[in-house]
Amino acid sequence: MSASTAEITEYCLKTAQAARKASYQLASLDAEVKNRWLGESAAALIKSEKKIVAANQIDLDAAAGYGLSDAAIDRLRLDSGRIASIATALEEIAMLPDPIGEVIDGFTRPGGLQILKRRVPLGVVFFIYESRPNVTADAAGICVKSGNAVILRGGKEAIHSSQAIVDVLAKTASHCGLPENAVQLVSTTDRAAVGEFLKLGELIDVTIPRGGEGLIRRVAAEATMPVIKHFDGNCHVYVDKDADIEMAVEIIENAKCQRMGVCNACESLLIHEAIASKALPEIAKRLTERGVEMRADERAKSIVPSATAATEEDWSTEYLGPTISVAVVDTIEQAAEHINRYGSHHTDAIVTGNLKAAEIFTTLVDSSAVMVNASTRFNDGGVFGLGAEIGISTDKFHARGPCGLRELTTYKYIVRGDGHVRT
């Protein structure tokens, strides 16, 4: 793009101001209006298939020039099946209960003052994501349903596809009584625009970056507003001395291998010394069958000599591929300490038949989700029943774990008196 810095600064400011204005209108919209927009948008996307596919073709033609892998190009591609899935996702969001207006708490105080704590939108969401164009509609749907205006910053690789989708959403908005700037796509692909938006903490209430760790760290460092994020997912499975070994093998295989490149995949295995010599060979056998390399500490390597020796760096590495680090521990407490020290506070699991052990582990491990006898892969908004998910947070502030509609809201105290004054 040839826009000057001053032009980009002004564009970002105007976009954010328009979003702020739209957010005040959105805050008082009836659920019915938002749901009608979701439903009509779903229908309009299917009707606009030709236009969307044509726009997508422009992105596909440019993809090789961006150096996208075949897998990435496949994820970029839109056809009628995929457009139908995008539409279905919007219809599903329409069916979720509206979080806005929910009364979270309420009480009448001595003297008769009536206090309500009412759920309200955060306001303006700045959402940064990579090249999959289906995310464009998903994020717009989740933000608007929770009463927020959204500024979408998609990857340049999908810019024409995303613009075609947002055009449909915006056109439907004007039909349904939604403010026209409820959903805006950042039209410049200049990287400077991200920096400009991140300065606008007075106009934007939260930034949600989705993508590689480098992008997320940059956003977290520069943002003048709160950020919902997770940097990485160095997830652990701890096999307790009272574990069912067969169950442990199945859970580890699933957590490690079901999808290797995702944030809730298992990257590290801890095992109690009392069960290690019996369980570890069986676990190693299964992982080897699945092509997974083990990086083992001294004790684990003495049991599985074929494993590679782990270095200190391995304990904090998110491999996102066919490698797992393995360490033997003496106690549950030692396992928890290791996890809290090297992990990402994302998802960690214990395999045990012992109730007390489960209680100690779930209390001590400081992660967004702690699993007992279940795969780490279950940490997901859909699985948890949130219905739709805009991201996973490993922070403790505001929202932790999968973030759905409620996590994009805050509350407001509404106090009713009858001329009450304070004495």
Which residues lie across from 237 on neighbouring strands? 269, 349
220, two tokens: 């977290």
Which residues lie across from 151 on neighbouring strands? 126, 184
Tell me: does residue 417 bind a second copy (CB under 8 A).
yes
Tell me: does residue 368 bind a second copy (CB under 8 A).
yes
Pairwise CA distance, residues 195 & 188, whole Å: 13
Q: Which is nearer to a second copy, 39 or 226 (CB)?
A: 226
Q: Work out how close the CB of 303 gets to a second copy at its nearest, in angstroms, rounded to a whole number.
A: 23
Specify the stretch interacting with a second copy by CB under 8 A; choose among 175-183, 185-193, 231-239, 380-388: 380-388
Tell me: does residue 181 bind a second copy (CB under 8 A).
no
> Exposed, middle or buried, 71 (CB in 10 Å: 0-12/13-18/19+)?
exposed
Tell me: does residue 362 bind a second copy (CB under 8 A).
yes
Tell me: does residue 385 bind a second copy (CB under 8 A).
yes
Strand residues in 47-113 grouped as ranges (E): 103-108
Specify the stretch interacting with a second copy by CB under 8 A; choose among 109-117, 151-159, 211-219, 307-315: 109-117
Specify the stretch interacting with a second copy by CB under 8 A; choose among 21-29, 51-59, 170-178, 318-326: 21-29
Tell me: does residue 364 bind a second copy (CB under 8 A).
yes
Using left for φ > 0, alpha for ψ between -120 and 50, and beta otherwise, residue 419 falls in left
Specify the stretch interacting with a second copy by CB under 8 A; choose among 127-135, 230-238, 313-321, 357-365: 357-365
CA distances from 179 to 21, 45, 274 (A): 9, 19, 63
Tell me: does residue 419 bind a second copy (CB under 8 A).
yes
Pairwise CA distance, residues 303 & 334, whole Å: 20
The amino acid present at 418, given as its one-letter code, is D
* Contact positions with a second copy (CB under 8 A) in 335-354: 340
Q: Work out how close the CB of 202 gets to a second copy at its nearest, in angstroms, rounded to a whole number.
A: 11
Q: Which is nearer to a second copy, 47 or 412 (CB)?
A: 412
Q: Report the residue from 50, 67, 70, 107 that binds a second copy according to the rule CB under 8 A.
A: 107
Q: Which is nearer to a second copy, 180 or 366 (CB)?
A: 366
Tell me: does residue 66 bind a second copy (CB under 8 A).
no
Pairwise CA distance, residues 213 & 225, whole Å: 19
- Candidates 46, 54, 126; CA nearest to 90 is 46
Q: Work out how close the CB of 282 gets to a second copy at its nearest, in angstroms, rounded to a whole number.
A: 15
φ, ψ dihedrals at 106, nearest 5°: -170, 140
5, two tokens: 């810095």
- The C-alpha R_g of the chain, in whole angstroms, comes to 24
Tell me: does residue 356 bind a second copy (CB under 8 A).
no
Contact 318, 209 (CB under 8 A): no
Q: Which is nearer to a second copy, 55 or 127 (CB)?
A: 127
Pairwise CA distance, residues 38 & 30, whole Å: 13
CA dihedral defined by 296, 300, 301, 306, rounded to 10 degrees? -80
Q: Which is nearer to a second copy, 2 or 107 (CB)?
A: 107
The residues of the shown chain that bind a second copy, judged by CB under 8 A, are 24, 27-28, 107, 109, 113, 115, 122-123, 205-206, 226, 244, 247, 250-251, 253-255, 258, 340, 358, 362-364, 366-375, 377-379, 383-385, 395-398, 400-401, 410-423
